[in-house]
Structure 1
Amino acid sequence: MADLTKEQILKRLASGTVIRDWSAVGALARSHINLLLRDQFLQGYTDQSFIAPMSSQFDLDEGGQLRGEFRNLVFGPPQLSFEDATLLSAVTTVRMSILSGDYVQHAHLPGSPPILLRAYSVDEAMGYAVSAQVELKLQQSASGQYTQLMLALSDARPDTLECELGTTPYASKQIGQAVFSHWLEQPGYRQVYILAQFDREDYASMSPMGIKVLTQMAPWGGKTDKASKDKAASEGDGAVLLLMQTRSHLLPGTLPQPGHDFPFLLPGTAAAGAEYSCTLLLDPVNEGKRAEPLTQVLRPVRMPNAHRYTYSAGDKFVPADVVGFGHISPTEGTCRVEPGIKSIVAQETLPFKLEGSTPVEGWNTTNIRSTAASGTITRAGVYTSRDADAFTADSQISLVTGHYADGSDGDQQRAALVIEHVRPVQISPRVMTTGANGVPIQLAASSVDGGTLRWEKVDTPQSLRASRGPERAGNHKKHDLTGAYSADLGKLEDLGNGKARFTPAKIEQGTPEILFQVIRATDTRSGAFADATVVIVTWPQTLSVEPFHVSSYKPNGTVPFSVKVTPPDLTWHVFGEGEIGQDGIYTPPLAAKLPVTVVMADWNNLISGYAIIEHRPVVLASPATSDWDDLAVFSIELLSPGVCFANGMQQIEVLITIKTKVNGVGVSPPISDTELASLKLFNTEGGKVIEFLPAGEEGLEPDELSEDSVNAGTWAVSKDRNRVGTRPGATQGETLPMDASTRTKHLFLLTNSVGTLFVGAQFTGDDRIPYKSTSYNDGTSKVRVTGEAPPDKYTEDAYTFKRIPVKGWEGENTEDFDKTDDTTDYWVLAGAKSDDFKTLSFLRLKFDDDNKVSMIRWESNQRKEKYCSFTSFAFTPLKPAVMQYPQNAENPEDPEKYLVYDGLLQALVKAQVGDPDFLDTELVESAKPGRGDVCFALHRVSNLPLFYDSEKDKREKWRAPLERPLLFRLMDQFGNWHRLKVDFHLASGVKGSRDKLSFSVR
């Protein structure tokens, strides 16, 4: 492991440029990337976009004889590491810890009944996780505004999936594959985490237009063979590298090659990690611009939770490339609840605070599976967990939400998770079954209190060391069982760091059928402890008892057992606590003293079968049960007109209302967060689910439209209102009074298909039963929505393109171009006023990807020519984007305040004139276009020397791209796109061709 200082980096950079012809290179530290991923993960719990708890069964060996089962497994935030990063790709290792849940292993051997092998209560402190290699990717849609740098769990490489719960390499991979399948079952937007969004409609010269992503290991981040839970914090440290082509550069750079010597740009140490969270390199050619270029490169980049790049003046250096050692820093819009993820014990208190510049306005909390198990929180943010008797499992998850106002969008929320434990010490596995064969068993424990753990065996009562079938003394296959077994049951070794190994003694036949060894882990600081039970089966089972494992049961209830093929004279027996009748009905003890009871079915003292019962202080009889009994209301209604243009952007708003009821008296709890998170819309004719929009997208791509295109399923659902929104007008449905049993959800439909659809709502209960609004036929079980064809292609009559002389015409005829050399005219593109349609106004301006945002033309191609015209633009959208930037650096090329020139035009002018004030950026207030109109400014000058591409290096052939017409699209207030073109009004070479602009529809 090698530490790296700032001075060492600067010495390396002083030897020459390393940016390989890119405009800028950014290195983002792992520590901060993982913080942003955690922020996104927690935010998903406020809008029900989290990965649902996992309950699933899977094989652990190739023959299917060993099987595993997850019950309500809750995953933690994705965290990245770079121990396998080579700087030749964007591959990273993503690791998701297991916060809570049960893991059970059972055997299904040929000719033998199934039997429980291991039962685990899993939590974050035990260090179990699922990991895989994933390649970070850049994704953008043709009509989307942002290029998104994302981590997509669906991109996990199947051959790298593994989980540390697996006791063999094959089992580890099988568990990983099962988890991967669960990820793929989630809606697409839940599988994606966005690290950064690059605005493709920001046309400032330093705005990134082309990006390549690579990953790089830190010098101190080398790989070891240790299990993930035992690795040092520095292992896998590294950075995400962004290679950026800004709009000031004609061509992208080149990628590092094998054997490269590209330096790691973040100083740091193995002990402390990276000293800075972001280092930025910049091509020195960009120095001297109107604003500090280092602040401008990442200005149009949106990062989770409103972060931005900052640096101090003392951390800027110019050894060869410009370098700024800085940070991804919070802004005024950054808020998070701390602690973000924390473990506590039943009835314990935990204070929370909202970190940020905005004061908290209120707190609330709910258990994600059962509101009945929810704790309480005070106005000051102090959370108190419920008593263990109210818990849903040994560990459970509650959501704590802080509310605040950000001044624009009303109520905002930030969340934290509380992992609540029945007891301070957790031990894993909690139950183990073994034969009398002496095979070692590995154990692990953790403590919320953080003390050193002491391991010890607990003496088993003599009553549990005797046979339950003493008549077997007459069975020639067994010895005399009338006495209790008194020998030691095995050896326990403390392996340190919360780990232990128990090796059962080799027990000869002729002992009780079942023996117990209780193993205790005690926190030496607090005295708290937890017990695990080793169930030693000395007499093999033949009868198949159902169920063969009971992990929990309701208080004061009973548990029925049966045998698949019941022979005559079958008898039932109990090892442990509780009673069982000869009808197979087991009655648990009121207050169990031991963790486990074994029920035995016996026939004629010859063959037996077993079931294991766990005594756990939880209220639910099953790991998947809803608190409520039925639904009183499940409705869907329109909150806007049920018609939208089939352009993929205009929306239809619906409201879903779900009210529960219980059989009997009392208030029914509402559906849980997990149940609400499963809410979907579906086509009632056929039942096809309507998919949610991909993460970060505002709408669908517009398609070629046809009357039957609705059958293609091109409807989508959005959780949020976009900038287009719905059609004017609202439909007022029946307003139900909100109460403790009711939950509501607003969703938005959009389409690029012409046609009508009937839409219903559905969700999956914690009992795993699907519920559909169409099953509650009260007139609000479905809604009718229609995609209407957008208007046909507009003609030029739908627009105006007016010239406004602005500068240089004082006292002159504004048409006398021959007598006036240096002028500025604004050409304003707007919707024409008409009685036939609402005047068009525009929300977005999108230049074609291969097109520039300025044009240039000289009067002639003569060597000494200096008469030239070029363009700039200004645009203020009719409405701002829903997703706005955080409090970023001032934009000196903001099209709402200034005239904006293409970065290549700026580079050309700098090369030819060298005057930083040559390009006039003033947007004259008296001539400024209105909201939703676009201004193209035409500048005529007499002092810009002709530029010859043929005499320049390939990276400086700036003229040719600027001589092309301006090709762009405008989105109007209804979400329809308009494909347009602006050009000089006459062909090049014709006298006066550079004096005016023309406009046409493409």
Structure 2
Amino acid sequence: MTDLTKEQILKRLASGTVIRDWSAVGALARSHINLLLRDQFLQGYTDQSFIAPMSSQFDLDEGGELRGEFRNLVFGPPQLSFEDATLLSAVTTVRMSILSGDYVQHAHLPGSPPILLRAYSVDEAMGYAVSAQVELKLQQSASGQYTQLMLALSDARPDTLECELGTTPYASKQIGQAVFSHWLEQPGYRQVYILAQFDREDYASMSPMGIKVLTQMAPWGGKTDKASKDKAASEGDGAVLLLMQTRSHLLPGTLPQPGHDFPFLLPGTAAAGAEYSCTVLLDPVNEGKRAEPLTQVLRPVRMPNAHRYTYSAGDKFVPADVVGFGHISPTEGTCRVEPGIKSIVAQETLPFKLEGSTPAEGWNTTNIRSTAASGDITDAGVYTSRDADAFTADSQISLVTGRYGSDGDQQRAALLIEHVRPVQISPRVMTTGANGVPIQLAASSVDGGTLRWEKVDTPQSLRASRGPQRVGNHEKHDLTGAYSADLGKLEDLGNGKARFTPAKIEQDTPEILFQVIRATDTRSGAFADATVVIVTRPQYFSVDPFYVADYKPNGTVPFSVKGTPPGLTWHWFGEGEIGQDGIYTPPLAAKLPVTVVMADWQNLNSGYAIIEHRPVVLASPATSGWDDLAVFSIELLSPGVCFANGMQQIEVLITIKTKVDGLGVSPPISDTELASLKLFNTEGGKVIEFLPAGEEGLEPDDPSKPGTWAVSKDRNRVGTRPGATQGETLPMDASTRTKHLFLLTNSVGTLFVGAQFTGDDRIPYKSTSYNDGNSKVKVTGEAPPEKYTEDAYTFKRIPVKGWEGENTEDFDKTDDTTDYWVLAGAKSDEFKTLSFLRLKFDDDNKVSMIRWESNQRKEKYCSFTSFAFTPLKPAVMQYPQNAENPEDPEKYLVYDGLLQALVKAQVGDPDFLDTELVESAKPGRGDVCFALHRVSNLPLFYDSEKDKREKWRAPLERPLLFRLMDQFGNWHRLKVDFHLASGVKGSRDKLSFSVR
């Protein structure tokens, strides 16, 4: 089956429940998951958290005779597919395309000098990518607020890594392993993409508290043997399944077993993909709750770029389980720049638009490797690429940023892949012997026209021995022995592909022959050339360097041979010239793509080097354009002391200014260089790691033991200690870049911290090398209070409802009452009055208690609790509210989901639980309210008479165990319970509080 209709799904669901005792099941479509991943990937470029361009060498065969090399390879966003998903795990295939960069192959045969084999310019249109199987995982820390559904590149299964640039299965896996090593070298937070965050401190009854993740292939998403770049869009289509236990359910459900017919929940077709981006199944027992339960399940779930689940009333059905066919929809907080990733050509213009409810306040652009190569963008978002002479490579990456918000302080980004020419050809240089082995070529065009392949006639002067000019007679063009036969056969294979089969060359002179192959876009007439270098005489000498991909204009390139024998002479095939000292002078404006330099000894033994003449003339394309640093400083912007609780921060400012020689402005360091910025311990040089993705702080380990320092890119809700320090303010100019970072620790002690980054020249630069007084900062982790005593708090009773007159202690004569018990910090001379940022109930604990007056069969007198809490201040990275929360603890009294289920079973009255938070008695910000409700009409509930999934009473009879985080980031372990033991007269009338 390839297509699946909504009617077919509903027919299957009508045959009985499929929810397997879970509270809810969500199915998220691949198409929208990949869109959210792209959003997150692009956002990483706005805060320098992207995966750095890759430059690395690796073996392509088991003997190390064939080697590969990446130069400034830039990866695209991770994209998921589910062709191998079985619904028994969360395994997915992640694929990251190659947006830009160079790939070089060279041979190192035993006893032979190294030689270039292939040089590729790689871009997204060519379809090359790195792929691997990864299992999506749920991760949470003991103190973190969110359970995170994440894709971690570090979890890639090594035996599944591969890249289509490899020409053999072994080479494909070797390239994949090299890329994997590069991923692992990145800071941890750059290796992770978060698909969703489940708020563990949202205690509404429909909030997920337990989640299992599975992946499922769509009926039309079957696997084929085609290369990834040739696969249909439908291949690998599928969904991520979220099996959720909400707080209204005592136990989790069970997982599908092999052979179980769990339906695919997203209607769609092979041609169009999934019709909906999210379907939610819900246990019917939740119907009738306040607000719409279908939306409440995913309300506490944060998704990238502020998306949320929505559905239309006409797409809700109740065949057995409740089902809502819906979408992961944008909210008022959703913004993205479109087009998100786009290719253009030098001097071309392209308009950008900020999509969302907020208009763009301004636009910026920068080249990620060199600001000197950045294009221009207007206030209306129209981008114009620079002339090709300013490019850093044949293709380069520029960032376009749209600013929005009331102060223009928020931003979204797009990436531009800029090409020197419209047509890209790969490989652009190929070396072969005289044996006629076929060579595969591919080309793409930004203009999208049909590509025509043809051979370009080689000038007669390039078919002669030792090049167009013989040594010893620079005026004479000696064409003796010029090769006149055809150099090979070119076949157009269609779809931008071709095959060239070199002719077998029987003679060994000329030593070097060239065949230029051209791919032309028939629509625009634009073309690109590739060069086949045919070596007819084996080389003996090792020329160093054996391959030159770029050089400075108006410069020279020195070549040498180790242990140069007497009588060695230098020659060249192509353009430019080489002296007998081995110094090569390139042409001012090359007409041919390649020159070959030859070292020759008495016309018997030779050695070769290949020089590419690329149309990029920016001096030293491998660097960002600056020569030295004038300032590299780090200074404190807050007190240099924090509690060693893993949350309180110390803010530092790093300033990097490049040195200006003479008049003018030096380019600043590039985005890629700024992205490599790290902090390190100056005593030993150990790098201080960044926090994991999605975390606000470190776990509060025992501060008396050696602990950890960490760096955060963002201010968290605790922030720094009051009191700013004023460092020297440098004037900002075009040569200066700054970065704010935040240190935190769970270690007591002092540290001296410096800053470092890696230049595009791969040289590390450290602030400690620039002795200007701000080369390092002193930071101290201070032990937090070991344990607060009960006199640090107040626990005050406020009678609210049911009391008549002034006697609010006459519990024997008053049956139905509500008291607020407010927990707050007590004033003290020793420290500022405590106020609380977070309320975190223990994982196995409920948020309500219950107690009946007795255990008699007809007992109806009962007390139970609810709570309300407004944090002192909200989380810094707070997403827009997904939907109205009928159990918002800042507006209502919140009851545990199990208590709600118990009350529904016993009385059936949806209004039995009083959720009103009385305004006159509402606790202040940072205080916690526990409401004690005494009623006379709740029949006793017996767990022993219920199914295991309905034994709700026992968990609710436990004390409330919880932690509070104060404004300094310190945790307080506390307990609230009924003030007397069960069975004692009056035990359910009041609450008590204690420190754990």
- What residue number does 2:192 align with? 192
| Deviation, structure 1 residue 471 | 13
Q: 1: CA distance between counterparts of 2:742 and 2:813? A: 58
Q: Deviations over 1:57-98 (max 9, x none)?
A: 000001111000000000000000000000000000000000
Contiguous gaps of at least 5 residues in structure 1? 708-712
Counterpart contact for 1:71–1:623, Cα < 8 Å: no
Q: Deviations over 1:362-387 (max 9, x none)?
A: 00100000111110001110000011
Tell me: CA distance 1:988–1:471, structure 2 relative to 1, closer, same or farther (3 Å): closer
Counterpart contact for 2:468–2:477, Cα < 8 Å: no
Q: Does 1:347 align with 2:344?
A: no
Q: Deviations over 1:444-478 (max 9, x none)?
A: 00000000111111111111111118999999999
Q: Deviations over 1:428-452 (max 9, x none)?
A: 0000000011111110000000001
Q: Deviations over 1:770-829 (max 9, x none)?
A: 000000111100000000000120111000001000000023621110100000000000
- What residue number does 2:183 align with? 183
Counterpart contact for 1:302–1:886, Cα < 8 Å: no
Counterpart contact for 1:473–1:479, Cα < 8 Å: no
* TM-score scaled by length of structure 2: 0.98
3-state DSSP of counterpart to 1:470: coil
Q: 2: CA distance between counterparts of 1:267 and 1:477? A: 76
Q: 2: CA distance between counterparts of 1:737 and 1:473? A: 58
3-state DSSP of counterpart to 1:633: strand
| Deviation, structure 1 residue 898 | 0.1
Tell me: CA distance 1:414–1:18, structure 2 relative to 1, closer, same or farther (3 Å): same
Q: Deviations over 1:211-236 (max 9, x none)?
A: 00000000000000000000000000
| Deviation, structure 1 residue 885 | 2.8
Counterpart contact for 1:553–1:620, Cα < 8 Å: no
Q: Deviations over 1:934-974 (max 9, x none)?
A: 00000000000000000000000000000000000000000
* TM-score scaled by length of structure 1: 0.98
Tell me: CA distance 1:548–1:603, structure 2 relative to 1, closer, same or farther (3 Å): same
Tell me: CA distance 1:884–1:169, structure 2 relative to 1, closer, same or farther (3 Å): same
3-state DSSP of counterpart to 1:472: coil
Deviates more, 1:67-76 or 1:505-514: 505-514
3-state DSSP of counterpart to 2:470: helix
- What residue number does 1:786 align with? 780
- What residue number does 1:655 align with? 653
Counterpart contact for 2:860–2:937, Cα < 8 Å: yes
Counterpart contact for 1:473–1:482, Cα < 8 Å: no
Q: Deviations over 1:659-697 (max 9, x none)?
A: 001434321010000000000000000000000000000
3-state DSSP of counterpart to 2:476: coil
| Deviation, structure 1 residue 628 | 0.7
Q: 2: CA distance between counterparts of 1:159 and 1:618? A: 39
Q: Does 1:624 align with 2:622?
A: yes
Deviates more, 1:882-891 or 1:246-255: 882-891
Q: Does 1:120 align with 2:114?
A: no
Tell me: CA distance 1:389–1:477, structure 2 relative to 1, closer, same or farther (3 Å): closer
Q: Does 1:817 align with 2:815?
A: no
Q: 1: CA distance between counterparts of 2:268 and 2:460? A: 60
Deviates more, 1:878-887 or 1:88-97: 878-887
Counterpart contact for 2:362–2:408, Cα < 8 Å: no
| Deviation, structure 1 residue 486 | 1.1
Q: 2: CA distance between counterparts of 1:470 and 1:37? A: 55
Counterpart contact for 2:467–2:573, Cα < 8 Å: no
| Deviation, structure 1 residue 992 | 0.5
| Deviation, structure 1 residue 836 | 2.1
| Deviation, structure 1 residue 622 | 5.1
Tell me: CA distance 1:225–1:802, structure 2 relative to 1, closer, same or farther (3 Å): same
Deviates more, 1:811-820 or 1:13-22: 811-820
| Deviation, structure 1 residue 99 | 0.3
Residue in structure 2 matching 1:639, options 634, 637, 643? 637
Deviates more, 1:311-320 or 1:567-576: 567-576
| Deviation, structure 1 residue 623 | 5.3
Counterpart contact for 2:468–2:573, Cα < 8 Å: no
| Deviation, structure 1 residue 296 | 0.2
Tell me: CA distance 1:505–1:552, structure 2 relative to 1, closer, same or farther (3 Å): same
| Deviation, structure 1 residue 582 | 1.1
Q: 1: CA distance between counterparts of 2:457 and 2:662? A: 46
Aligned pairs (5 A) from 1:388-403: 388-403=388-403
| Deviation, structure 1 residue 854 | 0.1
Counterpart contact for 1:541–1:607, Cα < 8 Å: yes
Aligned pairs (5 A) from 1:88-99: 88-99=88-99
Contiguous gaps of at least 5 residues in structure 2? none
| Deviation, structure 1 residue 837 | 1.5
Deviates more, 1:828-837 or 1:623-632: 623-632
Q: Deviations over 1:744-789 (max 9, x none)?
A: 0000000000000000000000010000000011110000000000
Q: Deviations over 1:680-724 (max 9, x none)?
A: 0000000000000000000000011226xxxxx600000000000
3-state DSSP of counterpart to 2:674: helix
Aligned length: 995
Q: Deviations over 1:510-549 (max 9, x none)?
A: 4310011111111011110000000000000001111111
Q: Deviations over 1:879-938 (max 9, x none)?
A: 011121324110000000000000000000000000000000000000000000000000
Counterpart contact for 2:594–2:610, Cα < 8 Å: yes
Tell me: CA distance 1:674–1:565, structure 2 relative to 1, closer, same or farther (3 Å): same
3-state DSSP of counterpart to 2:100: strand
Q: 2: CA distance between counterparts of 1:774 and 1:510? A: 58
Aligned pairs (5 A) from 1:13-32: 13-32=13-32
Q: 1: CA distance between counterparts of 2:612 and 2:760? A: 22
Counterpart contact for 2:469–2:477, Cα < 8 Å: no
Q: Does 1:917 align with 2:911?
A: yes
Counterpart contact for 1:72–1:623, Cα < 8 Å: no
| Deviation, structure 1 residue 482 | 2.8
3-state DSSP of counterpart to 1:961: helix
Counterpart contact for 1:295–1:889, Cα < 8 Å: yes
- What residue number does 2:607 align with? 609
| Deviation, structure 1 residue 107 | 0.3
Q: Deviations over 1:270-307 (max 9, x none)?
A: 00000000000000000000110001000000000000
- What residue number does 2:934 align with? 940
Q: 2: CA distance between counterparts of 1:282 and 1:589? A: 72
Deviates more, 1:792-801 or 1:505-514: 505-514
Counterpart contact for 1:681–1:759, Cα < 8 Å: yes
| Deviation, structure 1 residue 591 | 1.4
Tell me: CA distance 1:135–1:477, structure 2 relative to 1, closer, same or farther (3 Å): farther
Q: Which stretches of structure 1, 4 residues or longer, exceed 4 Å deviation after superposition?
A: 407-410, 469-481, 620-623
3-state DSSP of counterpart to 1:473: coil
3-state DSSP of counterpart to 2:469: helix
Query: Quick one: percent identity of the two aligned structures?
Result: 97
Tell me: CA distance 1:205–1:469, structure 2 relative to 1, closer, same or farther (3 Å): closer
- What residue number does 2:292 align with? 292
Counterpart contact for 1:554–1:618, Cα < 8 Å: no
Give the alignment's Cα RMSD to 1 decimal. 2.2
Q: 1: CA distance between counterparts of 2:873 and 2:617? A: 52
Counterpart contact for 1:478–1:509, Cα < 8 Å: no
| Deviation, structure 1 residue 845 | 0.2
Tell me: CA distance 1:767–1:946, structure 2 relative to 1, closer, same or farther (3 Å): same
Counterpart contact for 1:855–1:962, Cα < 8 Å: yes
